[in-house]
Amino acid sequence: MLYYVAENPWYLAGVFGLLSVSFLIALRVTQDGKFLIRALIALGLAAIVLVVEQLWVTDNERIEWVVKDLVSALSRSDADKMIGLMDQHVTFSLRSSMQGDELDTDFFRSTLQNAKFDWVHLSKLTTNAGVQSQRGSAEFKISATGTYLMGGTQHNFAGNSQWSLGFRKAPNEGWKITRITAVVLPPYVILPMVKFRSRNGTTAVEPPMPQIPQMMRNEPSDFVPLRKPRRGERRD
């Protein structure tokens, strides 16, 4: 019942609206004043449901606001705003994997500074918030066009992508992003750097399965990951 009041009140408001119409029809047929009173009560209940929905802000709606703020900051290439919406430690992973390595916010900031978006569109946003677990998630799609500066040259890009975010409800801070999962990516994308922890406990930085846009390559060649070889690893 709470769902039809806080999340989607239109079904309940529609029922009251139909009741009001039926009472008005009965009033016209019978000329009985009691149907007018019932019609007014039904209209009043429909109005109350809509007002309560506007005043009652749910955790799902708060997560939606965070996602929309994130996309808005992305359209402006505002990395500081985006990082401010994230938790202190954020994992980045590919596809549907729930596990990932820690996002390198410094590399993320420098990469985003080279990007300029002409158009960013958010679609198919769904959210879920756990009341007891204080954990949440969001699934959505992004369509974007713009330019990226690489090697002193601007390159155009356009594509669609699908994302999944994980959240935790931080005390006095609201919902913070803890996980970023790239579910579906276009064939040309530069992924942000992540930090991984090696067996000896040291922290290093590498791109997770890095990809480079074919249109951004000066000549056809295989892309070599921009990281130092791990111990025991050979690079041809």
Q: What is the pTM of this model?
A: 0.61
Tell me the backbone φ, ψ of residue 204, rounded to 5 degrees: -130, 180
* pLDDT tens digits along 190-221: 555 555 444 444 444 444 444 434 333 333 33
How far apart CA 62 and CA 138 sit, in angstroms, is: 11
* pLDDT tens digits along 133-192: 889 999 999 999 998 887 788 888 888 999 999 999 988 778 999 999 988 887 666 555
**Amino acid (one-letter) located at 74:** L
| Choice among 1-10, 31-40, 65-74, 121-130 with the minimum mean pLDDT | 1-10
User: Which residue's structure tokens are 């000896």?
Assistant: 200
Q: Which residues neighbour 145 within 8 Å (Cβ) at sequence distance 6 or greater?
A: 117, 118, 119, 156, 157, 158
* pLDDT tens digits along 4-63: 444 566 677 788 888 888 888 888 888 888 888 888 888 888 887 767 665 566 888 889
Q: Are 207 and 191 in contact (CB under 8 A)?
A: yes
How far apart CA 172 and CA 176 sit, in angstroms, is: 11
Beta strand segments in 23-150, E: 86-94, 101-103, 115-129, 135-150
